[in-house]
Structure 1
Amino acid sequence: MPDTIRSGWFVAQLRPHGLAQARVHLKRQGFETFSPVLLHQSQALSSKRNEERPLFPGYLFVNFDPNQSGWSSINSTRGVSRLVLNDPRRPRPLPDELIRALQNRCDPEKAYDDLAVGDRVRLVTGPFAELVTKIESLPSAERVGVLIDLMGREVRSSLPRAHVVKVTE
């Protein structure tokens, strides 16, 4: 019995600075797109501001059904360089769980809803990467307060939420 190919998310490689253009033209053609972003706090002189930065610069996720005609037009869409496919005759979508996780993690409205005071988290970057600790506070939508054990002494620290991952046991 042949594998049934279903609608799903695929990766499109973009032309340089082609994200906005690709989004507009793909939407016009009826394709749903997703470009995961993370909020990055930049500090210019005396002010702080949040900037959105692409999680995968140069790439865009596009949702389509490979059983329907017309999806190959994505390759000739303005801003798009090409679809990244293992087999153009039988495209395989990315796992739904991966896209759902990215959407939940990168949507400012949904991001980090799974974190609460007392949760165990692993630091994923910086000098204490891989250290497991507990959340002490959630001071803002972008920050997590943790206690770090340094030579037998607990030190409070505030980190960007993107720098921690919840530990599930």
Structure 2
Amino acid sequence: MSEATIWYVAYTAAKAERRAAKALERVGFKTFAPVMRVTRQRRGRRFSADRLVFPRYLFVGMAPVCTWLAFREADGVLAVLSNDDRPLPVEASIIEGLRAAMAGGAFALRETEAIGPGSKVRIASGAFAGFEGVCTSALGDRRIEVVVKLFNQPTIVKIPLDGLINIGPSSATGHRSSPYRIDIGPARATGSRKAS
């Protein structure tokens, strides 16, 4: 990477990141779009795919010979991340850090493939974000019931699969990593409240 390269952020049209990158590279810009490797399981088959970490955003390295007109008029580019009409530069150390994180597998993600009854999960989004619990049953192929500790009571909540992170199999005798970890055994034995 050249010392003279200054990095900026381009905002692209929907699903046009690759098209914008090619257009910018043709006229001398460097581009970088961090991707994450996502592993899924659908209908018993496991597959991996790359997904953008920042959809619709593209880091663009501008050398002194490049022009703003070529940047802004590149196919697929809608805007340049700016403040008061002044493009905001991104420190090269941030680009280097993102590249290193990507190379080190920091963005690798396993989606819901092993989540099922008995799986220990962390809720990643919604009203219960941050809570940990244990899955009790699947509700079709998109939602699952999770027992969490709410107001010191085991409570069943229904969560979309894409809002869960698998953090391992349930263990009634495992160490407590969070105040929300509960023992699923007593919850079943004494009953629980249902929450929608």
Please report the TM-score for the alignment, with normalisation by the length of structure 1.
Answer: 0.58
What is aligned with 1:76? 73
- For residues 43 and 55 of structure 1, the distance between their equivalents in structure 2, rounded to whole angstroms, comes to 20
What is aligned with 2:174? 153
Contact preservation (8 Å) 2:7, 2:89: yes
1:130 positional shift: 9.9
2:108 matches 1:111? no
What is aligned with 1:116? none
Please report the TM-score for the alignment, with normalisation by the length of structure 2.
Answer: 0.51
- For residues 64 and 101 of structure 1, the distance between their equivalents in structure 2, rounded to whole angstroms, comes to 18
Q: Which runs of 4+ in 1 moved over 4 A?
A: 127-131
Q: Deviations over 1:20-60 (max 9, x none)?
A: 21111111111100000111111121111111111011110
Give the alignment's Cα RMSD to 1 decimal: 3.2
What is aligned with 1:23? 21
CA 152–16 in structure 1, closer or farther in 2 if over 3 Å, else same: same
Contact preservation (8 Å) 2:28, 2:66: no
CA 29–106 in structure 1, closer or farther in 2 if over 3 Å, else same: same
Count of aligned residue pairs for this structure pair: 120
- What secondary structure does 1:94 align onto? coil
- For residues 85 and 99 of structure 2, the distance between their equivalents in structure 1, rounded to whole angstroms, comes to 26
- For residues 41 and 97 of structure 1, the distance between their equivalents in structure 2, rounded to whole angstroms, comes to 29
- For residues 54 and 168 of structure 2, the distance between their equivalents in structure 1, rounded to whole angstroms, comes to 31
Q: Deviations over 1:114-150 (max 9, x none)?
A: xxxxxxxxxxx9259599xxxxxxxxxxxxxx999x7
CA 69–100 in structure 1, closer or farther in 2 if over 3 Å, else same: closer
Contact preservation (8 Å) 2:123, 2:131: no
- What secondary structure does 2:20 align onto? helix
Percent identity over the alignment? 25
1:73 positional shift: 1.6
- For residues 42 and 153 of structure 1, the distance between their equivalents in structure 2, rounded to whole angstroms, comes to 27
Alignment of 1:47-126 (within 5 A): 47-65=45-63, 68=65, 70-88=67-85, 91-107=87-103, 110-111=104-105, 126=122
Code of the aligned partner of 1:96:
A
1:88 positional shift: 4.4
Code of the aligned partner of 2:174:
R
1:11 positional shift: 0.4
**Structure 2, unpaired ranges of 5+:** 107-120, 125-129, 133-166, 177-196
- For residues 10 and 33 of structure 1, the distance between their equivalents in structure 2, rounded to whole angstroms, comes to 10
1:153 positional shift: 2.8
Larger Rg: 2
